[in-house]
Amino acid sequence: MDAHSRGRADDIDPADQWVLNPHTGNYELRLDHSAGESSGSSARTATAEETGRRGESRTGSSREGSGRRAAGSRGAATDGTRREVPGQRSRRSSQGGRGAAEPPTAGRRKRKPQKSRKKKALLWTGGVMAFVVVGTSIGAYALYQKFNGNIDSIDVGDAGSKNVVTDGPMNILIIGTDKRTGKGNEGYGDKGSEGHADTTILFHVSEDRTNATAMSIPRDLMTEIPECEGKDADGAEVTIPGTPNERFNTSLGQSGRNPGCTMKTVENITGLKPDHFMMVDFNAVKELTTAVGGVEVCMAKPVDDPKSHLKLPQGKSEVQGEQALALLRTRHSFGNESDLDRIKVQQQFLASMIREMKSSDTLTNPKKLYKLADAATNALTVDSAIADAQKLMTLAQEISKVDTKNITFLTMPVVDNPAEPTPVTVVVDPVKGEQLFAMMRSDTSLTEVKKKEKDAKSKQAALLKGPKADPADVRVDVLNGGEIPGAAGSTVTWLQNEQGVLKSTNKANAPEKIKKTTLEYAPNQADQARALAEMMGLPATAMKQGTADAEGLEAMVLTLGADFKGAGQLITGPAKAPEGVEQASADKAVCAK
C-alpha cells in the first residue's frame, strides 16, 4: 500500500491501523495520518479518490473510521455522547506516557487494549482441512475486496441451502481433500491425483446455538454414492449415476463428482442434510497453522514415523506447517495404525486449535487477525451460497455463539465390513449408527447444557419403562401426515420385514398434514406402544394415550408427521449417546496414544 492513499506515512504498519473501539467491541481501521483524536482536533476529510479506495465500513457502526466525518464530530456516539476511538500506532514509537487521557503521538506507543469479551473466534481443522472464523469487523472496503477475492466457490445446486444462516439447526460439512495438484500440494505421492474426501467432519450446530456435535466420517466407509450433478472432463454439466458399495472418499473427485455429491452422500447415510460445505487441501493446513503461530499437541510416547517424516518427543510440543500436516496425515504412529485412530488424533488437534484461538492474544492482535483472515479465505473453497467474505463472517458469528465446552467430537459408529474376509473397510453400525444419527436429527445435545433437556430425557426414560409387547403382538394402523410420498407404505414394509410387526396396516394419507408424529393408543395397549416407540424412536411428546381400553382387534394409530425422515430412521434418538461411542470435548486436552 502506498503511503499517500493507505496511511503508510510515518512508517505506520497497515496492520497496526486496526484499533479496538472500546465502546462497540469492534476493531476498526484508521486510515488517516493523525495519531489520535481529541475534542479539539479537526477530522481530515477524505478525497473522492481515497473514499473510493477505502469504501464504507462493513460494521454498520456509524461509519467511524471512514474519514468522512466533519470537523469535531469523529468518534461521536449516536446518543450525542462523545466517544473517542483510539488512534493508530506508529512503528517509531519508542516511549510514551501512560496517561489515559492523552492520545498517542509519533513519540508514544498506545497501550495494548484490554480483551473484549464480545470478540470470539473459532478455527476448525480435521486432517487436511481447516477453517478460520474471525469474529471481528472488516473495517475497510479494500480489505473486504481482498478477502472476498481470495475465496473459491462451487455451485452444488440443491445439495445445500440457499440461506447463509438457518433459523433451526445447521449442518456444515467440512471436507479435507488429498489432491496433489495446485500450490503446496505436490510431492506427497500419488502425483496428479484429483483428490478424494480424505477427511470429513459433519459439524451440527444446535437450533439454540448452545452446543455442537462434530462427527468424523471414516474415509474407508463402504456406502452408496447417490446420483448427483457434476462436470465431465470438458467442464460440461452432467448427471453422475449413483453407485452402491463404494468407499465414502470416492464421493469427491471421482467420475467428476464435486462436494455436492459428498453432501448428498452424507445425507443419504445420516438423514441430515448439510446446509453448506467448506473444503481445503494440504497447503491450507500448512498456511493456517503457521498463521495461528503453531498448535500445541501432546504425545503419550515419542513419535518417529519415516513415512510421514514426523518426529515428536513425548509430552507437549508445538507444530505448524509441514510438521502439522505430517501429524494429521500419519497412520502409522498411533493405535493400530488405522484410519479410525488417525481420526482421533485429528480431533485432538482440532480441539487444541480451538483452545489456542480462545486463550491466546489473537483476538486483540490486529496483525494475527489479518494473517488468519487472509490465510483462511485463501484456503477455502465453499458453496456458492456463502462465497462472500461478509456471508462467511455472518455464518461465523452465528457459530461462534457455541461455548467451546459444549462442542463434542466423535466418530461415526462403524463395524468391520462383513463382506470382506480380511476387513480393510468398515460399514455403519446398524444399531449405534442410527441411534446417533437420530439424536442429531432431533437436535439432542451430547452435552448437558440445559435443564429442560434433562427433564425431557427423564420423561422419555420414564415413558419406556414397563413391559413391552412382542413385535408379533403389536397392532398398528399407519397414516402419512408428513411430506414424504408413500411414507406410510414404506414404514409398514419396514415394520413387517425388519421388525416383525406383521399386524401393521397401511392406511395411506392422513386427513391433514401434521408437524410431529403421533401414536394414539388405549391404556390396555401401553405395552404395544412402548415396543413401537422403541423401534421408531418416538419421543414422549408423540405418545397420546386415550381414556378407554381398546376392544377386540382394535389397532393403535400411528400418524407420521413432518419430523419423519424415512422408514427405519428413528424419529428421535436415545436420551444419551449409544454405549461405546467415544466422545471428546473441545475444552479438554488429551495426549495422542
Q: Output the tens digit of pLDDT for each of the chain's 593 residues.
A: 433 333 344 444 444 455 555 555 555 555 444 444 333 333 333 443 444 444 444 344 433 333 333 333 333 444 444 444 444 444 334 344 434 444 444 444 444 444 433 333 333 332 222 333 333 333 345 666 777 888 889 999 899 999 999 888 999 999 988 754 445 445 444 454 567 888 899 999 999 999 999 999 999 999 999 999 987 777 788 999 999 999 999 999 888 899 999 999 999 999 999 999 998 777 777 888 888 788 899 998 999 988 888 899 999 999 998 888 888 888 778 877 788 888 888 888 888 877 776 665 666 677 777 777 788 788 788 999 999 888 888 888 888 888 888 899 999 999 999 999 998 999 999 989 988 998 898 888 887 655 455 565 566 666 678 899 999 999 999 999 998 999 999 999 999 999 999 999 999 999 999 989 999 999 999 999 999 998 998 888 889 999 999 999 999 999 999 989 899 888 887 767 888 888 888 878 888 87
Going by C-beta distance under 8 Å and a sequence separation of 6 or more, which residues neighbour residue 376? Answer: 123, 130, 131, 132, 133, 134, 288, 291
CB atoms within 10 A of CB 144: 20
Q: What's at 17, amino acid-wise?
A: Q
pLDDT of residue 519: 96
DSSP, residue by residue, 6-66: HS-GGG--GGGGEEEETTTTEEEE--SS-S---TTPPPPPPPHHHHHHH---TT-STTTTS
pLDDT of residue 72: 39
pLDDT of residue 63: 37
pLDDT of residue 565: 86
Helix boundaries (H) for 126-272: 141-150, 259-270
Strands (E), 384-446: 407-411, 414-416, 426-428
Angle ∠(298,446,133) on CA atoms, nearest 5: 60
Dist CA 496 CA 505 (whole Å): 9
Going by C-beta distance under 8 Å and a sequence separation of 6 or more, which residues neighbour residue 99? Answer: none
**Where are the chain's structural domains?**
1-118, 120-292+326-441, 457-560
Which residue in this structure is represented by grid cell 504412529?
333
The answer to whether 276 touches 208, Cβ cutoff 8 Å, is no
Dist CA 12 CA 3 (whole Å): 9
The CATH classification of domain 120-292+326-441, taken from the options 3.40.630.190, 3.40.1230.10, 3.40.50.2300, 3.40.50.300: 3.40.630.190
pLDDT of residue 529: 95
| Reported CATH class of domain 457-560 | alpha beta
Mind listing the pLDDT tens digit for each residue in 317-372? 999 988 888 888 887 788 777 888 888 888 888 888 777 766 656 666 777 777 77
Closest of 354, 347, 480 to residue 405, by C-alpha: 354
The answer to whether 316 touches 356, Cβ cutoff 8 Å, is no
**Is the pTM value of this prediction over 0.85?**
no
The answer to whether 390 touches 58, Cβ cutoff 8 Å, is yes
Going by C-beta distance under 8 Å and a sequence separation of 6 or more, which residues neighbour residue 336? Answer: none
